Amino acid sequence: MPPSTSREESKRKINALRKEKNAVILAHYYQDEEIQDIADFIGDSLELSRKAAETKAEVIVFCGVHFMAETAKIINPNKIVLIPDLDAGCSLADDCPEEEFKKFKESYPDHYVVSYINCSAEIKALSDLICTSSNAVDLIKKIPIDVPIIFAPDKNLGRWVENQTGRKLNLWQGSCIVHETFSEEALLKLKLEHQDSEIIAHPECTELLLSYSDFIGSTSKLLKHIQESSLKKFIVLTEPGIIHQMRIKEPSKYFYDVPGIDGCSCNSCPHMRLNTIEKIIKCLESLQPRLEIDEETSKKALKPIKKMLELSN
Ligand code: 13P
Ligand code: SF4
């Protein structure tokens, strides 16, 4: 069977199943192209949590990583929230274990805790406010200047927010394996080959790589930027899944992803890429695997998420 036919068949199956189960399929920009193409909605972490809060569907299939699906479940405790592969975690979220974070927080009792959404439900439950890379700068600016702040778990995003806001943040030292992997040498080589290009980057990249960047923003802001820019070429310092949407929005422009150190293809998020079309079909058929969170943690974690949604509306 030619691949396009099996793709069409999978699409038909998914369409029938999502109707039968009253399900909505939400996908992050870092998912494989074919998953983005069958999703009801594609977005960044903030847009996806907004969609999760608005949906009338009974079942949410979250094509992203664990903390994203977990956030959707915290917002919708009475809905069925599925993730095609339960092992789709996040190195950044794993970099902030609950017990160590509790101790860190206890040593700064007067601090207001702002956590990046890329963290576990337990860390969210210990936080005062959640942010995403889309709204972190705006939200930090809303906190009174005399209030000391802990920012967790991403040190790179935190440092960038410090530079943007002029606020000193007490940073948890976590990072993302994907955004720390881009090769400086490959980036400079690409720039030399395409001198008429812009370097655009996600703020989870290291300070060194951000220093070369012409524009820095969340996945949705990068997507908006390439549509507004008069330039034709972009070197993209984030997970290359986003390039699929960039090419759809701007088919006549050119996008270059940056390989990892040693030329490896580790610029793809290994967690995000665990989800597949076959696993989506399976999870719609069986309504498994489901996200389950204990009630107390879920209730505590909901408060700072709600606050974020209110403040960033
Ligand atoms: P966005 O919030 O920009 O979608 O980023 C999420 C993420 O996991 C980046 O690595
Ligand atoms: Fe987590 Fe990094 Fe993957 Fe984003 S790209 S989901 S921060 S491991």
Burial category of 95 from C-beta neighbours within 10 Å (exposed 0-12, middle 13-18, buried 19 and up):
buried
**Phi (first) and psi of residue 78, to 5 degrees:** -95, 0
Q: What is the pLDDT of residue 183?
A: 93
Spell out the domain ranges in the chain.
Answer: 3-89+272-292, 92-176+299-311, 182-263
What's the pLDDT score for residue 262?
A: 73
Query: Ligand 2: which of 29, 48, 117, 118 to mutate, most ligand atoms within 8 Å of CB?
Result: 118
Whole-number Å distance, alpha carbon 91 to ligand 2 midpoint, is: 6
Contact 181, 269 (CB under 8 A): no
Token pair 């400079």: residue? 188
Say whether 235 sits in a helix, a strand or coil.
strand
DSSP state of 43: E
pLDDT at 260 (0 to 100): 85
Q: According to the model, what pLDDT value does residue 266 have?
A: 75
| Region at 263 (left for phi over 0; alpha for psi -120 to 50; beta for the rest) | left
d(CA 182, CA 198): 16
Interacting residues of 176 by C-beta distance below 8 A, sequence separation 6+:
90, 91, 92, 118, 154, 156, 204
Four-way CATH pick for 3-89+272-292: 3.40.50.300, 3.40.50.2000, 3.40.50.10800, 2.60.200.20: 3.40.50.10800
Q: Is 68 in the pocket of ligand 2 (CB under 6 A)?
A: no
Pick from 269, 273, 274, 275 the residue to mutate for probing ligand 2's pocket: most ligand atoms within 8 Å of its CB. Answer: 269
The CATH class of 92-176+299-311 is: alpha beta
- The CATH code for residues 182-263 is 3.40.50.10800
Whole-angstrom CA distances from 92 to 22, 141, 187 are 33, 24, 23
Q: What is the pLDDT along the chain (313 residues), one digit of tens a residue?
A: 455 668 899 999 999 999 999 999 999 999 999 999 999 999 999 899 999 999 999 999 999 999 999 999 999 999 999 999 999 999 999 999 999 999 999 999 999 999 999 999 999 999 999 999 999 999 999 999 999 999 999 999 999 999 999 999 999 999 999 999 999 999 999 999 999 999 999 999 999 999 999 999 999 999 999 999 999 999 999 999 999 999 999 999 999 999 888 767 678 999 999 999 999 999 999 999 999 999 999 999 999 999 999 998 7
pLDDT value of position 5: 67
98: tokens are: 């609950």
The alpha carbon of 44 and the centre of ligand 1 are apart by a number of angstroms equal to 6
- Give the pLDDT score at 35: 98
For ligand 2, say whether the CB of 178 is within 6 Å of any of its atoms. yes
Predicted pLDDT of residue 313: 72
Among the listed residues 146, 96, 119, 31, the one whose alpha carbon sits nearest the alpha carbon of residue 304: 119
Angle between helices 45-54 and 66-75 (to 10 degrees): 30
Listed residue (245, 202, 198) closest to 221, CA to CA:
202
